[in-house]
Structure formats: C-alpha cells, structure tokens
Amino acid sequence: MKELKIGCGKPTGAKLGESAGSGKPAEETPMGKEISMAAVKVGAKAPDFEAPAYQSGKFGQVKLSDYLGKWVVLCFYPGDFTFV
C-alpha cells in the first residue's frame, strides 16, 4: 500500500491494463450506471479505481491497477461493526 495524499474513493474510468481516459467515469455518462454495471462481468477487465485505505497502522491510497500481475480478491461488505 502506497502512502500518498488521501483522496476520495473513486473509479478512474479505465479498465485494468488500459489508460485512464479510454472510458468516461460512470457519473459523466448519461446512462452511466447501466453502462458501467453492464461492463462488470466475468471474462471482462475489472474497472480500475483508487481509494483511501487503512492497513497495519497506516493510512494510504490503494489503486487496483497497482496489483496487475497478481491474483486479487476484492470483497465488498455492508459495514464495519456489523455482525456477519
């Protein structure tokens, strides 16, 4: 995890392995949600993003594309201090 200036969690608008700008961020397209959700499917490149993170006592910024070359498991969950 890189220690960088901490920003908001946001999609970069690019797919992994592609340069940013090859796709518009979801919120900038009129049908953004539908378009971007349709793009997330098995067999397709994952949408890149960066997000602030906490790990081992440090805050930093994580960018998904920094993990290219490794297997990644990305797990969303409802919230900290929830039960399951």
Partner 1 sequence: MELLSISVDSHFVHKMWQDYELTKMVEGGVPFPMLSDGPGNIGRVYGVYDEDAGVEMRGRFIIDPDGVIQAIEILTPPVGRNVEELIRQVKAFQHVRETKGEEATPSGWQPGKPTLSPGPDLVGKVWEAWKVEEAF
Name the CA dihedral angle for 23, 26, 27, 30, rounded to a multiple of 10 degrees: 80
5 binds partner 1 (CB under 8 A): no
The answer to whether 29 and 35 have CB atoms below 8 angstroms apart is yes
29 binds partner 1 (CB under 8 A): no
# residues near partner 1 by CB under 8 A = 52
The answer to whether 4 and 53 have CB atoms below 8 angstroms apart is no
- Give the residues lining the site for partner 1 (CB under 8 A): 1, 6, 8-11, 15-17, 26-27, 33, 36-37, 39-47, 49, 51-56, 59-60, 62, 64-65, 67-82, 84
